[in-house]
Structure formats: structure tokens, C-alpha cells
A = this chain, B = another copy of it.
């Protein structure tokens, strides 16, 4: 077996093309690329406007089974499939999310794919990239500062200081900031109150940036953010503080999609990165919509497994942006299926066909779910060197028994050469015209009924439950005109249920909605089922200890 290189070594060895050359492949003139270094660029607003009349290419969603510690390789497959489609003669663009900087110093690996299916420059992408997340942090915290400043100077808007709904954000894993008291120190510093920080990707500004159609829409949505409530429970908006306009100024570059390239020099848009629990977990509408105007195929991914990620992609992003996916790829690995079949992580190296078969129940559920949206699906088995023939065949047989196809992919080790078969299958599905996309529920359904529909039809639970206070809150929002919004489920990504240890394909569980939040700017109601962490902490041995510049000035320790 050949020497196995680390992701960062492969990325560093990439033969990158000038970003202008990459842009030219999909017809972007170099004057419309705002360069950030020689290998990253933002696409100009005027160019995006100029292509609006063009026909759309075909949109392919890459989703996955429920994630496990074994890893599934959803981003890797997204990138690999993009390269594979280009290899078989289709003009294809990959659309993925940007990585959050903070978690890299904790324990998370990078978010640029892996092996020979990566987007580069991976080190920049895992650090400051083109500054989008910093801009979101600034815009978010400007609003936070304006709120406390407004209270400080007399609180003309009669904000109930116990009901400030807007926290602060930082792109760092810092548990000490989760719950704090601000404005201590006497009259010069203001009015002490409880507050806290979330990580930047959890900001509603991030969700807004990713759902906005253009800068004007962005400004409008920023104005719609509810920052607090008055004593009479009436909402106070960001617009009331005149905050939406300077926030849009801070975001004017961040909203433009970022163009980079795969290891095989194919174009990739990497733009936006909202949380996949309290937000919808997809890259930006601006990037996806623009890519569809420029390519035959756009391959994109959604966060977590298909129960959360694909559902939100369909019910929030596609619904709101008018996108019509042509096909979906559900990524699975033998190892992850084995974990879903009850195998412990330390035993994954041993062949266990029975466990694979058992774990396939999870995969089968996701196949059924994706098809509920009218989107044809194929399974991509992301190959790992320890997979045995018998295990792989078990997956193929299971999927065949459902009337669908599972295709083994070796893009991690071989790049596009290892994923040709899947690429051909995706083209066949997409060009068959089989897709009849429709969201799961209509806008008109009541908010709680929307949640209940997802619980029953996607999670296969018995019902959604909630205290009267939660149901009353939903009714109040309906009365205030927010009833037409889709719901955004915040639930563990590890199970169809709310118990992260309940792998496979459970049924009959009830799903308690603990809390609901209104993201009026982003345009969805968040239903929180279980504990959701919006500010991660660092482990006892943070990965920061191994991140450094080597003697050549190259970064080591980012993976």
C-alpha cells in the first residue's frame, strides 16, 4: 500500500490554478472576481445580476445517514462527485459551507473534504478565509452593542431588560462566555443583566446571510430581527434601533459568494455556514442560485443526517429560494452502518456483516424519507480501506431490496476516477425527469402541526409533545403573522429520536419540544427538542496545542 498522506499534506501539494482561470471555466470574467490572494475570490454583485436570465442547471443534494463517530464523509463525497461529474464531461460546480474557525482549536477536523476529494486552500478555509464569519460577528455584535447602548441612554423603546432575545457571538469555543453578567461597574457601564455569547455560526445573522436573495433582501431581513420584547410582550425589532442598515454595510462583501477550487481545479463555491440545529445548515442561497446559472450540475450538501439536514434543505432553503433538486445522494460508510448496527468504535476494524445488515435500517429510513419529497435518490458508499467485500455487498443488497442502487465510491483515495459510476448514475437520475420536488408541508399548516408532521413522517415518532406555554407561544406568533413560516428542528443529529444513543431506525417515540424560538429575520421558527449547545467548549487537550507554523511557514496540525 502506498504511503498515506494527511489531508493537509495532500492539500499543500495541490497544483492550484489561478482563481481567474477557475472562474473562466464557468464564464466569470476576471474583472468580476474580487481576489483574496491568488486562489480565492468573491463574485461581483453585478455579474450575478447579469446572469439572472439564464436557465438553471440541475441541483444535486448530498446527504447522509445519521452521523456517528466513525465518520461518513459527506463533504468528501460532495467534492468527489463534483469532480466526477466534470470528469464525465458535465460542467459541474460544488457548493459547500464555510468552516468555523473556533472549533479547529478544539477537536474538530477541517471542513474542506478529505483525501483526494478536497477543496483548496484548505488551511485558509479553516482559518479566516475571506473574512465572512468575522463580518457576521461584527454585524451581530454591533446590534448587541446598540441594544445595551439604547437601554443605557434611557430605553426610549421600553425594552423589557429581562427579555432581551439577542445575545453576542464570537467565533471561538469559549464555554466561559455561555452565561455571563454584563454592565457591571456602576453607572458609567450601564444596567447589569444576564447575557451570553454563542459561537458565530449560531448567529441569526448567519442564517439570514445564507437565505437572503440579495443585499436588499438581506437588509430587509436584518431589520426584521426581533431583539427583545416589551412588558406587553410586543416585539422590538433591529429596525427600531436603525441597526439593519449599518449591519448591511458590514456584510456587503460577506454576502458575495466565494469561489475556490477542488484539487482537480474544478470550481467550488464555499459560502455561509449556519448551524444545522438552531438554523438550517446549508450554504448560501446566493451561492447555490448563482452556481445553477453557470453550470450543468450543482452538487451541494446539507448538515448532519438526512432527517435534519435534508429535511431543512427541502423545507426551508428550497421552499424559500424556489430551488428544485433533481436528485439526491445518500452517503453511507460500512463503518457507520456497523455502528448503527450496534458495534462499538473500537471493534469497527473487524468484519461484521450482520451488524452491517442491522445498521442498514437507518439507511433505509433515510432513502424513504428523501423520496417523500419527490426527489430520486442513490446511495453512495464512501469506501474505507478496512471494508470487506461481504460487508459492501450487504449494503448493496439491502438497497437493491428497496428498489434503489448503492454504488461504491473511492474518491477519497482516487479522486474523480474513483467516483465515475456514481456520477453517471446521478446524471441518469437527474436527466430522467423523475424528480417531482415538493416540500413536506404547506405554508398554511399551523406551526405546531408542522412540527408534528416532521416528527411523524420523518422521525417516525408517535407525536410531538409540548407544554402549554410552548403551544401558547406558537399561537401568539401565529396571531402576530408568523404562522406561515417553516419550522427548523433542533434535535440531536445522532438519532431519529431525541436520544442520541438510540441508533438504527426507532419508531413510536414521542418528541418533546422543550422551547421554541422565533428567527423572524431568517424566516423560521426553531423547535428545540433536547439540549442544544450554541457555544462549544474546548477539551482538556485542545488541538490548538498541535497547530503551528513549521520552519517553511506552512501550517501543521489542521486536518
Kindly list chain B residues whose C-beta atoms are within 8 Å of the C-beta of A134: 128, 131, 134, 137-138
Kindly list chain B residues whose C-beta atoms are within 8 Å of the C-beta of A173: 145
The reply to whether A547 and B249 form a contact with Cβ atoms under 8 Å apart is yes
The reply to whether B145 and A538 form a contact with Cβ atoms under 8 Å apart is yes
Within 8 A of B (CB), among A161-206: 168, 170-185, 188-190, 194-195
Kindly list chain B residues whose C-beta atoms are within 8 Å of the C-beta of A253: 128
Residue in B131, B174, B179, B183 whose beta carbon sits within 8 Å of that of A128 in the complex: B131
* A53 interfacial by beta-carbon distance below 8 Å: no
Interface of A is mostly: mixed
The reply to whether A142 and B172 form a contact with Cβ atoms under 8 Å apart is yes
Kindly list chain B residues whose C-beta atoms are within 8 Å of the C-beta of A250: 101, 127-128
* A13 interfacial by beta-carbon distance below 8 Å: no
* A433 interfacial by beta-carbon distance below 8 Å: no
Q: Report the minimal beta-carbon distance from A69 to chain B, rounded to whole angstroms.
A: 21
Q: Report the minimal beta-carbon distance from A178 to chain B, rounded to whole angstroms.
A: 5
Q: Given that A178-B189, A180-B184 are contacting pairs, would A215 and B553 also be in contact in the complex, using a CB cutoff of 8 Å?
A: yes
Kindly list chain B residues whose C-beta atoms are within 8 Å of the C-beta of A180: 180-184
Can you report 9 residue pairs joining A to B where beta carbons are below 8 Å apart? A131-B131, A134-B134, A146-B542, A148-B175, A149-B175, A175-B183, A178-B185, A249-B547, A249-B555
What are the 10 closest A-B residue pairs judged by CB atoms, nearest first?
Answer: A179-B185, A245-B548, A134-B134, A148-B176, A145-B174, A153-B540, A246-B544, A179-B184, A149-B538, A246-B547
* Interface contacts beyond A35-B38, A246-B548: sample of 7 additional A-B pairs, CB < 8 Å, sorted by A: A101-B138, A131-B131, A149-B537, A149-B540, A178-B189, A180-B181, A180-B182
Residues of A bordering B, CB below 8 Å: 34-38, 45, 101, 105, 127-128, 131, 134-135, 137-138, 141-142, 144-146, 148-149, 152-154, 168, 170-185, 188-190, 194-195, 215, 219, 242-243, 245-246, 248-250, 252-253, 537-538, 540, 542, 544-545, 547-549, 553, 555, 557
